[in-house]
Structure 1
Amino acid sequence: MTGRIAAVAAAIAIAVAGVASAHADDYVQTPQKTFRLAHGNAPGSPYDLGANRFAELVEVYSRGAMKVDVYPAAQLGGEQAVAKDVQLGVIDMTAVPTQNASMWYKPMDVFVLPFLFKDRFHVDAVVEGPIGEELFEEYREASGVRVISVFEYGNRAPMNNVRPITTPADFAGIKFRVPKNDIMVDAYQALGANPTAIDWGDLYGALQQGVADGLEGPPQNMIDAKFFDFLKYYSYVDPFFGVVIMIMNDDIFNSLTEEEQAIILRAGSEAGQYQRWVSAKSHVDGMERLKEKGVEVNIVEDRQPFMDAVKPVVDKYKAEIGSELVDNVMAAGN
């Protein structure tokens, strides 16, 4: 009798498991569409955390029918090259700083103007408000790529192996790596540095070989990339705030169903808010963590001399970008 009871119990268990499995299979789908998302930063960086949060949310909201594979650390190429591959549809998506993605539409360089943003509330007001909505739509029409999320690099400050920066004169003669963007090159020239445009993927070797004496970026980025191994001075004067856009090939986006498009946009919005928060938190104690790595950190209290030095650059590019747009962005911070 005991054997019969055991056999019946086993049969019931198998049947219940089969029903549960069937119900799970109805809800949890296998990937029907897979996308490649590339970015240039290290695994575990705020960039990467945001990209992986996006991938996770796409999977959740599609119940597994859509899958995003994340390729960090410039595995698929340098930032500008990958952005162009997204435009061509070779790669589906990438997260790229605006200075490396403005080549198709000059007004996007508004995000690159030095000393533009007052704080992160100002940034949010622009990228999440009507200014950002209109600008990103114009960018889509001009470029063929769609902005599906907004990340941040955060406050970008100079780090080098020559000397601390306390006044613009301290920039003299230092070879600073800057992104391949005319505004950033001109701004560092105006500050007295010798800027050299080097792709992010080639930067570590360039610093090791002395092609560049330093670079600019947020403290977390310096830690993630281990630049403290050979750069010893971090000076917190931050001409630039790094706005990063996640872009997707527009033809690929338009090939999706309305439900799939909504999933991409929802996941992008939520992942962007998450990433900007993670990045902001990493700034809070970032300079203390740099000190723990042996870096000499100084905070520049008087930024006005630096702002005065780059004013001709701002005036020059304001005309190219569009005076009304620049004024509207500045007013959004009031």
Structure 2
Amino acid sequence: MKKLLTLALLLSMCTFFGFADASAKQVLKLGMGDPIDSDQGAFAIRFKEILEGLSEGELQVDLFPNGALGTETEMLQNTRTGTLDFAIIGIGNAVPFVRELGTLTMPYLIENSYDAVKATTGELGDFWNTVSIEKGGFRILGWTYSNFRHLTNSSRPVTSLKDIKGLKIRIPQNNIILATLKSWDANPVPMAWSETFTALQQRVVDGQDNPYIVNYTSKFHEVQDYLTEIHYQYSLQPLVTGIVAFDKLSPEQRAMVQRAGIEAQQYCILFQTLEAEKAKKAMQENGVKVSYLTDEEEWKKKAVETVWPKFYDFIGGKQNLDLVLKALGKS
């Protein structure tokens, strides 16, 4: 009888402490719009690995790709209210909440990966984070560098301005991208990301634009025949957390979250560099014809001269554009 009582006591203690361990683990949700094998997914997986390691399992990160938690705009709003812990979003979707961030979507402002890093780190990185906290109610923890949004379509090769005229191109809800494509005489169609593949498949629109990795992991090679490398818009996708959720963490946990964001950002730069070329080759192997512009200076001239002056107020003032131009060493 004594042995049975002792065994029962041990079992109850194991059960109690097992539940105590489970309750001590804090589960945090991270949502994203893209597939898990995309740039966003690479960032998210690395963030999860680092944060869970730093916290020794105290903080657990559950990942929800493919828009499982809603559109990027919905996920950003949910981080602001504290009902979602983290989200990776295209920078354009943050502009309605923090218009200064629209500066980073100006056509041909960022012209290479060096510009992208300079524009989002150091004093500029602090600036974007400060205005996001003060005006948007969210904090930027790190940046996903996805490279340029290259144009795909199912109608014809595009190698010059005359080739894009009239093409119906799916774009995100972004006024600057809308104005840019109109400056080239294209027919931009704002559309939710979740509707894009079907719209391409059914020829509701002719094409869309996204970086190589997104184009490939989204399987656009199944419904698009042509891709053109264009360098007007560098795709930046920050990992954000709402101030409400961030403030609930202990000082030690906040430090771990911030460190995980920075280290995941560093990893993502390398991921994009190595994987974009693989995605390009894979699309070509699946029959997509890749073209290059013969007159991109004309594309740039039209976009800059037409779009920039119209959107100074939209981005919170010309001084925000000048701030980035100065940091990039441009006039």
Same fold flag (TM > 0.5): yes
1:329 alignment counterpart: 324
Please list, as runs of the form range in 1=range in 2, the aligned pairs for 1:180-329 lying within 5 A after superposition. 180-311=173-304, 312-321=306-315, 322-329=317-324
Q: Which of 110, 128, 149 pairs up with 2:103?
A: 110
SS at 1:271 equivalent: helix
The question of whether the paired residues in 1 share the 8 Å contact of 2:103 and 2:321 is answered with yes
Could you list the structure 1 runs, at least 4 aligned residues long, displaced by more than 4 angstroms after superposition.
28-31
SS at 1:320 equivalent: coil
Deviation of 1:118 after TM superposition, in Å, equals 2.7
Deviation of 1:264 after TM superposition, in Å, equals 0.3
The question of whether the paired residues in 1 share the 8 Å contact of 2:227 and 2:289 is answered with yes
SS at 1:248 equivalent: strand
Deviation of 1:302 after TM superposition, in Å, equals 3.2
Letter in 1 for 2:325: M
Aligned length: 308
> In the aligned structure 2, how far is the partner of 1:209 from the partner of 1:38?
28
SS at 2:61 equivalent: strand
Root-mean-square deviation (Å): 1.7
The question of whether the paired residues in 2 share the 8 Å contact of 1:176 and 1:194 is answered with yes
> Aligned in 2, Cα 1:177/1:259: closer, same or farther, shift over 3 Å?
same
Letter in 1 for 2:195: D
1:253-287 deviation per Cα after TM superposition (whole angstroms, max 9, x unaligned) = 01111100000000000001111221122223443
> In the aligned structure 1, how far is the partner of 2:59 from the partner of 2:203?
45
The question of whether the paired residues in 2 share the 8 Å contact of 1:77 and 1:201 is answered with no
Larger radius of gyration: 1
Q: Which of 73, 78, 83 pairs up with 2:76?
A: 83
Unaligned runs of 5+ in 1: 1-24
> In the aligned structure 2, how far is the partner of 1:252 from the partner of 1:30?
18
> In the aligned structure 1, how far is the partner of 2:294 from the partner of 2:138?
40
Q: TM-score, normalised by structure 2?
A: 0.89
1:265-317 deviation per Cα after TM superposition (whole angstroms, max 9, x unaligned) = 00000001111221122223443332111001112243111012212112211
1:121-165 deviation per Cα after TM superposition (whole angstroms, max 9, x unaligned) = 121112111012012111111011111111122111110001111
More divergent stretch after superposition (285-294 vs 120-129): 285-294
The question of whether the paired residues in 1 share the 8 Å contact of 2:79 and 2:245 is answered with no
> In the aligned structure 1, how far is the partner of 2:229 from the partner of 2:111?
15
Aligned-pair identity (%): 25
Letter in 1 for 2:270: W
More divergent stretch after superposition (312-321 vs 293-302): 312-321
SS at 1:154 equivalent: strand
> In the aligned structure 1, how far is the partner of 2:126 from the partner of 2:181?
30
1:163-195 deviation per Cα after TM superposition (whole angstroms, max 9, x unaligned) = 111122211111101110110111111111111
SS at 1:328 equivalent: helix
> In the aligned structure 2, how far is the partner of 1:203 from the partner of 1:159?
12
> In the aligned structure 1, how far is the partner of 2:99 from the partner of 2:183?
21
> In the aligned structure 1, how far is the partner of 2:77 from the partner of 2:202?
28
Letter in 2 for 1:320: F
More divergent stretch after superposition (318-327 vs 146-155): 318-327
> In the aligned structure 2, how far is the partner of 1:281 from the partner of 1:333?
25
Q: Which of 136, 148, 151 pairs up with 2:144?
A: 151
> Aligned in 2, Cα 1:286/1:323: closer, same or farther, shift over 3 Å?
same
